[in-house]
Amino acid sequence: MNRQLRKAILKVGYRCNNNCLFCHSAPHRGHDASTRELKRKIGLARRLGAETLVLSGGEPTIRDDFFRLATSIEKNKMSMGLVTNGRMLAYPDFMERLVRLPLDYVQLSLCGPDAATHDAVTQTRSFVQTLTAIHGLADLSVPKLTVNVVVTAHVMPRLDNIIAILPSPDRFRLKFSFVEPEGNALDEFSAVVPRISEAASAVRRVLEATRSKPESWRLAWDGFPLCLMPGFEQDEAALREDGFFLMSEAFEEGWHPIDDRHRTHAPVCLECSLRRKCRGVFRGYLERRGPHELRPIKRAGPNSFNLIRGHSSEPLVPSRCAIRAGYRPPPDPVRGLLLSYKKGRVFRCQVESFDFSDETLSAAIGDWEQIYRLAKGRLVPQDFSKDLQKLVPHNECRRCPCYRQQCPGLYQPEERPSFSQAEGILGTELGRLSGNVLDVGCGSMPYLHALEPLGRQGRLRFLGIDPRPGRLPRRDRSWAQVVKGSLGLSRLSRQRFDAVLALRSLAHLPSLRKSLERLAQLTAPRGTLLLADDVVFGLERLPDDLKRLKASRRLAFEHYRTLMPEEILSLAENLPGMRLGRFYSPADTSSTLWLLRLEKR
């Protein structure tokens, strides 16, 4: 990820000189923060690590104190950004004053390729002013200028005409954002909000057409699920991709990490290999039109992320924390953290890739505390119990009011051996089994040793299946058998087993629901279905280690999905003929592992 200035977006109020049909801030109209309050927030943003302060609204440029706020930003040694409809920028005097500021970022909304379309959406005569502002800013070479086309039902049939009215493509970025069904858009939902699959198709056509042009276009999109933008996933540009990490509404007292709580996922998304990366669909859209347009994608992907360690350490004593005292900015509250190095010294770490959404990272780091240190010399973990050391938040951080809201906390090695608790729980559950046992995706059979005493006593017979099975030890061949195959193996068609195991293999099965149903079918009445898998986890890495990993070609992904605990529980509740026996979360196992025992009725 290219180094960007860390941005905070400040909603100054909700008054506007347009009345757009899609305006999601309309319910807040009439609430505007005072100059004093906004200046306080500007200073606080700087202390929290912001390098660019972006003013938004409503329409920030119509405030009488706009240039006083801009001066406050400059005094706090930050560059300035602006989200605007551009109308005030059409006035030469205003533009002249604006460009004297340390302006680093501007996003300007365009609602159509002509006055008829644009003005119908904004419900004002605004097209000429907006287009004047776009060309004016492009001529002045504002460093990060984005023309944001809000994809409504009005503009969708005319997206192809947008490019013709814009400046030279080397001077700005063109972005297409699906309309959010909130505020004004709910009043005339069917007239304003197009079908998301049709809108995505229209945007893809424009993106594809610009790729074939001789000019070099910088293109982006936002608001669509990844499954509807195949081939253009890398062009997604929401707040996070643009370098934003903090946000404050006009009615909020402080700053909060940016989030995607206005978006969600449908049950069908659990089948999608991009679930952990995708932000999902706007909640309001799913509530009104349902999930039938979504198309789950099947392809292998990662199940872990890298926390890249900074080059130098810094002093930090948790009991006298300089970050809590406001003397030093915290790391990114979602994608960063502090790692203990030696007494009184810490490193800052950051997730620099976009392989996982903020929602996934927040759950993995904050909710389940899934951060690990690799054993020396290892590029990838082979045996988790030997190769991974769990890192946990410092007790002082857990008590801190800043924890997870403004600061992700300081992590240090856990005192007890990593994965010992998980191995004990799994061993206990395997020790309960008897009769005919099927292990689906047995691999090299790492759990066979736990079943061996039962097998030698004649209480258990074992059948393992795997597309690439390991070699069965000679000593176990009297009670165990391994065959090459999958769940579709013909010899399984009439068999039922007293226990069926899928231990760390669910992620490798192409179809999740069908596989779970098949596993349940293979389980005999009053039998046991034992499932276990890893949640998403993070690995501390040095920049040079990451380079070595990429150069080693050891990044072959094998996981179609990575389930979180609440997801597997939801699926299990709806599995025909099965009831919940016992569930162990990663907190219970103190590891990456969750474990679920289901019993056949």
Q: Which has the higher per-residue pLDDT, 3 or 351?
A: 351
Q: What would the mean pLDDT of 278-305 be, rounded to a whole number?
A: 97
pLDDT of 3? 64
What size, in residues, is the chain? 601
Matching residue, tokens 């909130």: 182
Instruction: Please name the helix (run of DSSP H) or strand (run of DSSP E) that holds residue 350, with its range, or none.
Output: strand 345-351
Sorted by where each starts, the structural domains of the chain and their CATH numbers stand as 7-253+260-289 (3.20.20.70), 304-413 (no CATH), 420-535+553-600 (3.40.50.150)
Amino acid at 204: R
Q: For 2-6, 22-26, 286-290, 596-600, which range has the lowest pLDDT when averaged over its residues?
A: 2-6
Q: Distance (Å, rounded) from C-alpha 404 to C-alpha 575?
A: 35
pTM for the structure as a whole: 0.94
Average the pLDDT over 518-539 and give the result: 97
Average pLDDT of the residues in 411-421: 92
Classify residue 398 as left (phi > 0), alpha (psi -120 to 50) or beta. Answer: alpha
Q: Among residues 500, 503, 533, which one has the least CA distance to residue 518?
A: 500
Q: Which residue has the higher pLDDT, 31 or 592?
A: 592
CA dist., res. 374 & res. 351, Å (int): 16
pLDDT tier at 343 (50, 70, 90 boundaries)? confident
The per-residue pLDDT for range 196-235, each reduced to its tens digit, is 999 999 999 999 998 888 778 899 999 999 999 999 999 9
pLDDT, residue 1, reads 43
Q: Is the pLDDT of residue 555 over 70?
A: no
Q: How much is the pLDDT for 557?
A: 73
Conformation bin of residue 138: beta by default, left when phi > 0, alpha when psi is -120 to 50: alpha
Instruction: Sheet with 523-534: list strands edge to edge.
Output: 480-484, 460-466, 435-440, 497-503, 523-534, 593-600, 578-584
Beta-strand ranges (E) seen in 51-102 are 52-56, 79-84
Three-state DSSP class for residue 390: strand
**Average pLDDT over every residue of 231-251:** 97
Q: What's the mean pLDDT when you consider all of the chain?
A: 95
Please report which helix (H) or strand (E) contains residue 547, including its range: helix 543-552
The residue-averaged pLDDT of 312-340 equals: 95
Contact by Cβ (8 Å): 12, 38:
yes
Q: Please state the rounded mean pLDDT for residues 336-353.
A: 94
Helix or strand holding residue 412 (H, E): strand 410-413
Strands 314-315 and 460-466: unpaired
Q: 10 Å Cβ neighbour count for 315? A: 9
What pLDDT was estimated at residue 553? 66
Least confident of 360-364, 462-466, 504-508, 544-548: 544-548
pLDDT digits (tens, 9 = 90+) for 327-336: 999 999 999 9
Query: Residue 468: pLDDT band by 50, 70, 90 thresholds?
Result: very high
Reduced to 3 states (helix: H, G, I; strand: E, B; else coil), residue 210 is: helix
Which residues have CB under 8 Å from 279's CB, separation 6+? Answer: 225, 238, 260, 263, 357, 359
SS3 186: helix
Instruction: Convert the pLDDT of each residue in 9-66 to its tens digit.
Output: 999 999 999 999 999 888 888 889 999 999 999 999 999 999 999 999 999 999 999 9
**In sequence order, what are the beta bridge partners of 176?**
149, 221
Q: Is the pLDDT of residue 321 over 50?
A: yes
For residue 143, the model assigns a pLDDT of 87
User: Over 60: is that where the pLDDT of 165 sits?
Assistant: yes
Mean pLDDT along residues 576-600: 97
- Of the chain, the percentage scoring pLDDT greater than 90 comes to 88
pLDDT for res 554? 61
Find the mean pLDDT for residues 425-442. Answer: 97
- The answer, yes or no, to whether residue 110 has pLDDT greater than 90, is yes
